[in-house]
Chain A
Amino acid sequence: MSSKRSVVLYMHVHQPKRIRPYTVFETANDHNYFDNPTWDHGSHNRRLFRKVAEKSYLPTNAMLLDLLNQHPEFRFSLSITGTLIEQAEMWGEDVLESFKRLTDTGRVEIVAETYYHSLAFFYSKSEFEAQVVAHKQKIQELFGQTPQVFRNTELAYNNDLAYWADQAGYKGILSEGWEPVLGWRSPNFVYRPSYTNNIRLLLKNYKLSDDVAFRFSNQGWEQWPLTADKYTHWLNAATEDQPIVNLFMDYETFGEHQWEDTGVFEFFRHLPAKWLEREGNDFATVSEAIVQNDPVDFIDTPQTITWADTERDLTAWLGNSMQQEALKHLYDLEERILKTGDDGLIADWRNLQTSDHVYYMCTKLFTDGDVHAYFSPYDSPYDAFLYFMNVLRDVRWRLSEHEKGSWYG
Chain B
Amino acid sequence: MLGWELPPHNSGGLGVACYYMSKALSQEGATIDFVLPYKADHDIDFLNIYSATDLIPLHRNGMGAYYRCNCDKSCTHASLSSLRDVQSQYGQYVEQLVKDVKPHVIHAHDWLTMEAGIIAKRTAGIPLIVHVHATEYDRSGEFYGNPLVHDIEQEGLMMADRIIAVSQITKNLIVDKYGIPAEKVEVVHNTIDPESLGVYYYDQSTYAYLDSLRKEGYKVVTSIGRLTIQKGLKYFIYGAAKASEKYDKLLFLIAGDGEQRDELIELACELGISDKVFFTGFVRGQAWRDAYSVGDIFVMSSVSEPFGLTALEAAAHDSALLISRQSGVGEVLNNVMRFDYWDVNRFADELVGIATSDSLRDELAKNVSNEYSRISWRDVAKRIKQIYHKEGSAA
- Residues of A that sit less than 8 Å from B by CB: 23-25, 27-29, 320-322, 324-326, 329, 379-380, 382, 385-386, 389-390, 392-394, 397, 400
Query: What per-residue 1/0 map shows which CB atoms of B205-249 lie under 8 Å from chain A?
Result: 111111110001000000000000000000000000000000000
Q: Does B261 contact A (CB under 8 A)?
A: yes
| Contact assessment for A28 and B208 in the assembled complex, using a CB-CB cutoff below 8 Å | yes
CB distance from B278 to the nearest CB of A (A): 5
Q: At the interface with chain A, which of B1-9, B24-32, B46-54, B264-272?
A: B264-272
User: Interface segment, B86-94, B97-105, B279-287?
Assistant: B279-287
Contacts of A397 in B (CB 8 A): 209, 212
Does A392 contact B209, Cβ atoms closer than 8 Å? no
Given contacts A25-B207, A382-B262, A394-B209, contact A320 B269 (CB under 8 A): yes
* Nearest CB in chain B: distance from A330 CB, A: 10
- Contact check: which of B205, B275, B278, B281 meets A29 at CB < 8 Å? B205
Residues of B within 8 A of A379 (CB): 73
Q: How far is the CA of A329 from the CA of B272 in the complex (A)?
A: 10
Give the residue of A324, A386, A394 whose beta carbon is less than 8 angstroms from that of B265: A386
Looking at the assembled complex, report how far the CB atom of A319 sits from the nearest CB atom of chain B, in whole angstroms. 12
B274 contacts which chain A residues (CB < 8 A)?
A: 321-322, 325-326, 329, 385, 389
State in angstroms the CA–CA spacing of A292 and B144 once bound together: 72
Nearest chain-B residue to A394 (Cβ)?
Answer: B209
The CA-CA distance from A371 to B280 in the complex, in Å, is 29
CB of B277 to closest CB in A, whole Å: 9
Cβ contact within 8 Å between B265 and A385: yes
Q: In the assembly, what is the distance between CA of A329 and CA of B276, in Å?
A: 11
CA distance A380 to B275 in the complex (A): 19
Chain A residues with Cβ below 8 Å from B209 are 24, 27-29, 393-394, 397
Alpha-carbon gap, A400 to B215, bound state (A): 12
Q: Which residues of B contact A27 (CB under 8 A)?
A: 208-209
Q: Using known A-B contacts A23-B280, A25-B287, A320-B269, determine if residue A392 contacts B208 with beta carbons closer than 8 Å.
A: no
How far, in whole Å, are A28 and B216 apart by their CA atoms in the complex?
14
CB-CB < 8 A to B269: which residues of A? 320-322, 324-325, 385
Q: In chain B, residues 63-92, which have Cβ atoms closer than 8 Å to a Cβ of chain A?
A: 73
Give min CB distance, B220 to chain A, whole Å.
Answer: 12
Listed from nearest, the 7 A-B pairs whose CB atoms lie closest are: A28-B209, A321-B269, A28-B208, A27-B209, A382-B262, A325-B274, A322-B269
A117 to chain B, nearest CB (A): 23
**Chain B contacts to A: CB under 8 angstroms:** 73, 205-212, 216, 253, 261-262, 265-266, 269-270, 272, 274-275, 278-281, 287
Closest approach, in angstroms, between the C-beta of A138 and any C-beta of chain B?
A: 32
Verify B73–A321 contact, CB threshold 8 A. Answer: no
By the criterion CB–CB under 8 Å, are B261 and A382 in contact?
yes
Q: Is the interface of B mostly helix, strand, loop or mixed?
A: helix
Enumerate chain A residues within 8 angstroms of B210, measured Cβ to Cβ.
24
Do B279 and A386 have beta carbons less than 8 Å apart?
yes
Question: Known: A23-B280, A397-B212. Contact between A382 and B205, CB under 8 A?
Answer: no
In the bound complex, residues from chain B placing their C-beta under 8 Å from that of A324 are: 269
Residues of A within 8 A of B205 (CB): 29
7 CB-based A-B contacts, threshold 8 Å: A24-B207, A27-B208, A321-B274, A322-B274, A324-B269, A382-B265, A394-B209
Looking across the interface, which residue of chain A has its beta carbon closest to that of B254? A24
> Residue on B with the closest CB to A322?
B269
CA gap between A320 and B266 in the complex, in Å: 9
Instruction: Looking at the assembled complex, report how far the CB atom of A404 sits from the nearest CB atom of chain B, in whole angstroms.
Output: 10
Output the least CB separation between B344 and chain A (Å). Answer: 19
CA A159 to CA B287, docked complex, whole Å: 52
Are B206 and A25 in contact, CB atoms less than 8 angstroms apart? yes
Minimum distance in angstroms from B275 CB to a CB of chain A? 5
Residues from chain B with Cβ under 8 Å of A326 in the complex: 274
CB distance from B291 to the nearest CB of A (A): 10
Chain B nearest CB from A401 CB (Å) reads 8
Contacts of A29 in B (CB 8 A): 205, 208-209
Which of A320, A329, A400 is the one whose CB lies under 8 Å from B275? Answer: A329
Q: How far is the CA of A320 from the CA of B274 in the complex (A)?
A: 13
Q: Which residues of B contact A385 (CB under 8 A)?
A: 265, 269, 274
The interface residues of chain A lying within 8 Å CB-to-CB of B275 are 325, 329, 389, 392-393
- Whether B278 lies near A24 (C-beta < 8 A) is yes
Q: Which residues of A contact B207 (CB under 8 A)?
A: 24-25
CB distance from A222 to the nearest CB of B (A): 38
What is the CA–CA distance of A400 and B216 in the complex, to the nearest angstrom?
10
Q: Residues of A contacting B279 with CB < 8 Å? A: 24, 386
B253: chain A residues within 8 A (beta carbon): 24
Q: Which residue of A has the minimal Cβ distance to B211? A: A28
Residue of A nearest to B277 (CB): A389
- Taking the nearest CB of chain B, how far is it from the CB of A42, in angstroms? 24
The listed residue with most A CB atoms (<10 A of its CB), out of B207, B269, B272, is B269
Please state if B262 and A321 are interface contacts (CB–CB under 8 Å). Answer: no
Q: How far is the CA of A325 from the CA of B270 in the complex (A)?
A: 8
Contact of A322 among B206, B261, B265, B287 (CB under 8 A): B265
A325-B272, A382-B266 provided; 9 other pairs, C-beta below 8 A?
A23-B281, A24-B279, A25-B280, A25-B287, A28-B208, A321-B274, A329-B274, A393-B275, A394-B209
Bound together, the chains give a CA A394 to CA B212 distance in angstroms of 11
CA distance A386 to B206 in the complex (A): 17
CA separation between A397 and B251, bound complex, in Å?
14
